[in-house]
Structure 1
Amino acid sequence: MFKFVVLAAFVAAASAGLIGAPLATTYAAAPLAVAAPVAKAVVAEEYDPNPQYSYGYDVQDGLTGDSKSQVESRSGDVVQGSYSLVDPDGTRRTVEYTADPINGFNAVVHREPLVAKAVVAAPAPVVHAAPIAKFGHFIH
Structure 2
Amino acid sequence: MFCKVLLIAAAVGIAAAQYNHGHGHGHAVSSQNVVLHQTHGHAQQSGHDSHGHHVDYHAPAHYAFEYSVEDKHTGDIKAQHETREGDAVKGYYTLHEADGTVRRVDYTADKHSGFNAVVHREGHATHAAPAHHSYH
Higher strand share: 2
**TM-score, normalised relative to structure 1:** 0.47
Pair member with larger Rg: 1
Higher helix share: 2
